[in-house]
Structure 1
Amino acid sequence: MPDPKNALETETVLAADPDWWRQAAVYQIYPRSFADSNGDGIGDLPGITSRVPYLVELGVDAVWLSPFYPSALADGGYDVDDYRNVDPRLGTLDDFDEMVAALHAAGIRIIADIVPNHSSNLHEWFREALAAPKGSAARDRYIFRDGEGPDGSEPPSDWLSIFGGPAWHPVGDGQWYLHLFAPEQPDLNWANREVRDDFLRTIRFWSDRGVDGFRVDVAHGLAKDLTAPLRSHAELEATKLAADGSHPLWDREELDEIYAEWREVFDEYDPPRIAVAEAWVAPTRRHRYAAETSLGQAFNFDLLRANFSSEEFHEIVDRNMEFAAETGSSNTWVFSNHDVVRHATRYGLPADLSGEGEVGKDWLLRGGPASEVDAALGLRRARAATLFLLGLPGSAYLYQGEELGLPEVAEIPDASRQDPTFFRSPGVEVGRDGCRVPLPWVADAPSFGFGPSAASHLPQPAWFSSFAVDVQSADPSSTLSMYRRALALRHELQGLEQLAWISVELPSVLAFQRPGGWTVVTNFGSSSVTLPDGMRELEVLLSSAPLDPADAAAGVVPPAATVWLR
């Protein structure tokens, strides 16, 4: 095993609180788009290390790194060639150790993305499987099945990939392999003991190097019922709608045993390593992943999918507070990540386009024009929603660039796109590249300071200059300044994982109080409101929108705004 001593030199600084994750502010870094140290247009690990002072000033407790492993980038790094190494374009294991040491020395934890549902088709196991005969031990690590028809030329079933097109790919000898995502991402067979043991080794490998926890990609997809005859696509869709855990491919009971083994490994460390599940399942099904005998925490994407609505936000918070009480876990709140349209854009959509499921995703991913977005309204609502979220008990997961108020980049030429959803659904979806464009750091610099050259693996629009870190750092009213102030106050004010709703008898307003007298008030409406007499004497700590001193003294909250009071 490589010597992890460099990464662990500061471990004792962070070892005191095994519950650090319960109310942490976690900042997601998409490494290829965060900071480029060598000018090749691709963000890298030394680039992240160079920006640790920025993360400290921002005030986050942990960073979550999207995959940094060797990869052909068929799916943005989620096609992993080697689970225990670093992509040479992003650095080396020594660079990783230096990054961890720098983060830990600054008091910041690190969460690594782990991708257990599938490897890449360039992984040594899959290359071995293709070279091996039918029925071999090498093929049993994946999901190979004989094709239909006399010569096996038809797929084993009519299943569809999440990214579009068929979910089976032929290998030329009458067999096909399953890929629920891209063809370059063959699904692993988690009924195979060797697969399970290898991932336990991977967890230990990164934990020994100082990783504090793991974000588990497609956590609900590992276990599968592939009993013959395979069900049809229509039958799978009908089962999925039932949302009762009986789907052959998703959210199966066998996952309990898999993650119980992971938990045993997590608990070998002091403090125990943590994990958070990416599991797109019904809210009533998240208990499996959030249990203390399992991963311990599960993303809830409920606010991410909601409209900017007091009624929806109230119901979601109540439901998830109950969930946390039942599981003993803590809530996870999130508005943006690398897979969805940025919330500053979602909240600016016309009303008739923003009310279907995950707000704005279908419309924008299918190429909806940016000209139909009210950018000013979207940013105003996003700032208000963010202060609402940061006031809630539980952990807050932030996505790089949201602290700048970055909107989705819609104007990416087809020739520059990278997302497999674009290539596998031509003319249907433009994909997720719009939220993955490299960050603007310096307004008047090549690549806006992303790197020392003008190179950028996805094109940055000219309007990025007004969102740059250096511009916003100099403006006390900027979105970046608001995030910095909010995160600092959050550390100062945060107490028990409790909240109490305050009745203000205003339909567009939600108000709640945290222990210690910290009060959060959000006006979801389109006109100003005046708070009741008892709240007007409270001190205004922070507002997502400009407050006139006279209005603040009179308890007036502007439209689409959140204020923190004490």
Structure 2
Amino acid sequence: MASREWWRTAVIYQIYPRSFADSSGDGIGDLPGVTAHLDDLQRLGIDAIWLSPFMRSPQRDAGYDVSDYCDVDPLFGTLADFDEMLAQAHGRGIRVIVDLVPNHSSDQHAWFQQALAAAPGSPERGRYMFRDGKGDEGRLPPNNWESVFGGPAWTRVTEADGTPGQWYLHLFDSSQPDFDWSNPEVWAEFRRILRFWLDRGVDGFRVDVAHGLVKEDGLPDYTPDPASGSMGGDDASVPYWGQPGVHEVYRDWRAVLAEYDGDRALCAEAWLPTIEQTALWVRHDEMHQAFNFEYLETEWDAAQLRAVIAESLRAYSAVGAPSTWVLSNHDVVRHASRLALTAENPQGHGIGPDSPGKPIAELGLRRARAATALMLALPGSAYLYQGEELGLPEVIDIPDDARQDPTWFRTAGERYGRDGCRVPLPWDAAAPAYGFSPTGASWLPQPAEWAEHARDVQRDAPGSTLSLYEHLLAVRRTEDLGDEDVRLEWLEWGDDVVALRRGERLHVVANLGEDPFDLSIAGGAARVVAASAAVEGSIVAPDTTVWFVLD
């Protein structure tokens, strides 16, 4: 029987390089810092790492503004450092996925600088979305589109002769001009970029804004529903998200990956209104994975969770793909805080000192541990975000003058943005910068509470969040819980619990209600295999997930 593709069941750990570990002492994490901690990740039990952008960049959006797709930014090291990290990871059985940003480049990219120097209608401008303005002398932007980061999505350029000129589209920051994917030259360039990294040995790509790239012909005006979120959760047809033509891009990329041995994988960051629509990104000839953002955004409610899990398993199975579960990443409020908020949490806005409904720390951590224990029992792949295995909460009290997310600046402080989930990790409670940097430098300030979350404090500590993650991942591997062929049977054990059986013996119960839950309903003596919180006899407290077998 053919071996199963690794990405179908993998637990993949997201590394946000600038916040992971700093080896140089400049306060910004780097690739040698990643290499130095691969043993910690191997001990955790993950199968692969995903590295957020480390390519050459002016860092206007923390590396998601790429100026050279085939080089390492000096902030993070060199190509030799990358090759060493890759070799060391592979030597430990850890695969490596790199972030690729195809919707836009940096305005410092050679192509865009050439476009600015060239005339309207030139081939150089044809690589990006340049358009003439509307109104008297083109003074108005081509349409009413708004940037995801706030403000208009168009910026007007000054032509070489000093006169006001065309406008260019940037769905994100003005320093991130959108490519024009109707141009074959853009397609050819990204094939070259894919092969550059595949030739170095990477195992796949996480594709940023994978539902973007293609824009509707004519660029019609569009006003999003304010309640829909900023990245494509609107039920309406959005002229810059999820256009049918984008699927041809990934069919082309899939063919490039098929030239290489070793099950190289593509994972889509695609924010779409429904699971059914997201599943279109992982049809057999397109991408391999797509983040299940509807699951991430589901409230802490048993009925809603049962529904989203069941729909995910149905929709992804229908196209022959696994679900790709996720609870946190570098763009969302960490789930150790998000699950205990008492106010609305619009995606991308972030939370800060003046936000309503601040999270209840103890409740948030308890729910986060329970949510992770449920997620890791489900078939398919799962992504973990660095620091969640330490129970890190969102950092709320970042001083205004320390914030760096472009969202904060483009909205004049109306939205806090994503800095709170990007604060550098604590490794050693007693060390400078909690072990993140040998000099004590840190590109975002770390709170005093990082000491109690530090890895050295939690290592080998019974009941710590780190110990819980290590144990859950070990059992998941032993029981092959990621395998879609291991039976999942729903158990009707009450309105306030999510209960299921995996295979012939393992039961999973997540108690999301306000009252304790008695495992004796299973009809035998329950032996607990793993639990997100202590279990007294057969009684499961609220906000607790238990894995057990019947003796």
What's the counterpart of residue 103 of structure 1? 89
What does residue range 153-552 of structure 1 map to in structure 2 within 5 Å? 153-173=139-159, 174-227=165-218, 230-234=219-223, 243=235, 246-282=237-273, 283-350=275-342, 353=343, 362=349, 364=351, 367-368=354-355, 372-495=358-481, 496-497=483-484, 498-548=486-536, 551=537
1:561 match: 544
Matched-pair contact (CA < 8 Å) for 2:222–2:238: no
Q: Find the aligned partners of 1:114 and 1:363 in 2 and give their Cα distance.
A: 24
SS of equivalent to 2:69: coil
| Partner Cα distance (2:416, 2:317) in 1 | 40
**Structure 1 residue 462: deviation in Å?**
1.0
Counterpart CA distance in 2 for 1:469 and 1:487 is: 17
Match of 1:564, as an amino acid? W
Aligned mates of 1:176, 1:102 — CA distance in 2: 46
Report SS of the residue matched to 1:151. Answer: helix
Would the alpha carbon gap of residues 242 and 56 (structure 1) be closer, same or farther in structure 2, given more than 3 Å must change?
closer
Shift in CA distance, 146/66, structure 1 to aligned 2, threshold 3 Å: same
**Contact 2:493/2:499 (CA < 8 Å) preserved in 1?**
no
Amino acid at match of 2:514: S
Does 1:87 pair with 2:79?
no
Would the aligned equivalents of 2:103 and 2:179 in 1 still touch at CA under 8 Å?
Answer: yes
| CA distances 1:531-557 after superposition (whole Å, capped 9, x unpaired) | 244344232111100123xx2xxx211
Q: Quote the offset at 1:558 in angstroms.
A: 1.3
Contact 1:306 1:357 in 2 (8 A): no
Amino acid at match of 1:109: R
Q: Is the 8 A contact 1:504 1:531 kept in 2?
A: no
1:7 corresponding residue in structure 2? none
CA distance, structure 2, for counterparts of residue 235 and residue 442 of structure 1: 45
The CA distance in 1 between the partners of 2:392 and 2:225, in whole Å, is 38
Correspondence for 2:162: none
Q: Is 1:140 matched with 2:126? A: yes
Partner amino acid, structure 1, of 2:299 = N
Distance 1:318 1:442, change over 3 A: same
Q: CA contact under 8 A between 2:266 and 2:288: conserved in structure 1? A: yes
Instruction: Provide the secondary structure at the position in 2 that maps to 1:258.
Output: helix
Distance in 1 (alpha carbons) for counterparts of 2:388 and 2:224:
39
CA–CA distance in structure 2, aligned partners of residues 165 and 87 of structure 1: 28
Give the aligned length.
537
Contact preservation (8 Å) 1:392, 1:499: no
**Distance (whole Å) between structure 2 residues aligned to residue 463 and residue 237 of structure 1:** 35
Alignment partners' CA distance in 2, 1:252 and 1:534: 47
| Structure 2 residues without counterparts, runs of 5 or longer | 160-164
**How far apart, in 1, do the equivalents of 2:533 and 2:43 lie?**
22
SS at match of 1:339: coil
Kindly state the Cα deviation for residue 502 of structure 1 after the two structures are TM-superposed: 4.1
Amino acid at match of 1:252: Q
8 Å CA contact 1:21–1:395 kept in 2: the answer is yes
Deviation of the 1:505 alpha carbon? 3.2
Distance 1:235 1:430, change over 3 A: closer
Give the alignment's TM-score, normalised by structure 1: 0.91
Structure-1 separation of matches of 2:150 and 2:487: 43
The Cα of 1:285 is off from its aligned counterpart by: 1.2
Task: Say which of 63, 83, 90 aligns to 1:77.
Answer: 63
Higher helix share: 1
Distance 1:454 1:119, change over 3 A: same
Partners in 2 of 1:65 and 1:141 — Cα distance? 27
CA root-mean-square deviation: 2.0
Q: Supply the distance in 2 between the matched residues of 1:391 and 1:158 (Cα, whole angstroms).
A: 45
Alpha-carbon distance between aligned partners in 2 of 1:265 and 1:157, rounded to the nearest angstrom: 35
CA distance in 2, matches of 1:39, 1:63: 23
CA contact (8 A) 1:18 1:271 kept: no
CA distance in 2, matches of 1:238, 1:468: 37
Counterpart residue type for residue 319 of structure 1: E
Once the two structures are superposed, residues 174-213 of structure 1 have per-residue CA deviations (whole angstroms, 9 ceiling, x without a partner) of: 2010001000000000011110011011111111111101
Amino acid corresponding to residue 77 of structure 1 in structure 2 = G
